[in-house]
Amino acid sequence: MKYAIVYSSQTGNTKMIAEAISKVFTKEECLYFGEPNYEKTKDADVIFAGFWTDKGSCSSVLIDYFSQLHNKQIVLFGTCGYGGSEAYYDSILQRVSALIEDDCTYVDGFMCQGKMPIEIRERYEMKMAEAPEKTKKMIDNFDQASVHPNEDDIRKAFAFAQIIKHSFE
Ligand SMILES: Cc1cc2nc3c(=O)[nH]c(=O)nc-3n(C[C@H](O)[C@H](O)[C@H](O)COP(=O)(O)O)c2cc1C
C-alpha cells in the first residue's frame, strides 16, 4: 500500500496531527506529506486528508482537492475549536466525508480540539454583557481549546493511524 498525507492548516494545529500520523509510515510507504496536491498524491492508494474546521466543514482547498480524487481510500483527520463532544466531531466528519467522490471510499476519521486565535476570545468578550451565560460557555471552551492539540491528542492520532495501517496489511 502506498500512502499520502495531505493537510490544510492555517495556524498549525492540523499540521501537528498530520506530523503525528506521518510517524506511523516509513519514507517508502508515504509518497507525499504536505499541502493538498493532486499530482503528488495520484499514485497513493490511501490518502490521509487533514482539515481545520471552517464553519462546520473543511476549507475550500480540500473541497477542490477531493473533487480531483478518484478510486482512493480516504481517511480524514481534523481539528476544530469546539471540543469534548464525540457527536460534534462525528457531525463534522459526516459533513466532510460527504464531499468525497462516490468512487472513493471513506475509511474512517479522527478529530480533536485545536486552539483558536485570540481575536475570537476578544470577540466573545464584547458579547459578555449581551448574553453572559452563553458567552461564558464560549470563553470556557476557548480556554480549554488553547492547550490543544495536546500530548494525548497526538498519541490518539498516532494510534488511530496505526490501526488504519494495520487494517490494510
Ligand atoms: C474563520 C474560522 C472559522 C472556524 N469555524 C469553526 C467551526 O465552525 N467549528 C469549530 O469547531 N471550530 C471552528 N474554527 C476553529 C478552528 O477550526 C480550529 O482552531 C482549528 O484547530 C484550526 O486549525 P489549524 O491550526 O490547523 O488552522 C474556526 C476558526 C476560524 C479562524
Residue 108: predicted pLDDT? 98
Q: In this model, does residue 84 exceed pLDDT 90?
A: no
Q: How far does CA 43 lie from the centroid of its chain?
A: 22
Output the CA 79–ligand 1 centroid distance in Å.
Answer: 7
Q: How far apart are the first and last CA of the chain?
A: 8
What is the bridge-based pairing of β-strands 46-52 and 30-34? unpaired
CA of 53 to the centre of ligand 1 (A): 5
| Angstrom distance (rounded) from CA 109 to CA 132 | 35
Q: What is the rounded average pLDDT for all residues in the chain?
A: 97
Q: Which of 15, 16, 53, 110 to mutate to test the pocket of ligand 1 (most atoms within 8 A of CB)?
A: 53
Q: Check: CB of residue 107 under 8 Å from CB of residue 140.
A: no
73 Cα–ligand 1 center, Å: 25
Tens of pLDDT, residue by residue over 127-163, are 999 999 999 999 999 999 999 999 999 999 999 999 9
pLDDT of residue 123: 95
Q: 32, 44 in Cβ contact below 8 A?
A: yes
Number of alpha carbons in the 13 Å side-chain half-sphere of residue 159? 7
What is the Å distance from ligand 1's center to 78 Cα? 10
Q: Is 12 helix (H, G, I), strand (E, B) or coil?
A: coil
My answer on whether omega of the bond before 117 falls inside 30° of 0, hence cis, is no
Residue nearest to atom 21 of ligand 1 (CA): 114
Instruction: Report the pLDDT averaged over residues 5-29.
Output: 98
106-124 per-position pLDDT tens digit: 999 999 999 999 999 999 9
Cell numbers describing residue 42: 495520484
What sign has the CA pseudo-torsion 50, 71, 96, 85? Answer: negative
The pLDDT, as a whole number, for residue 11 is 98
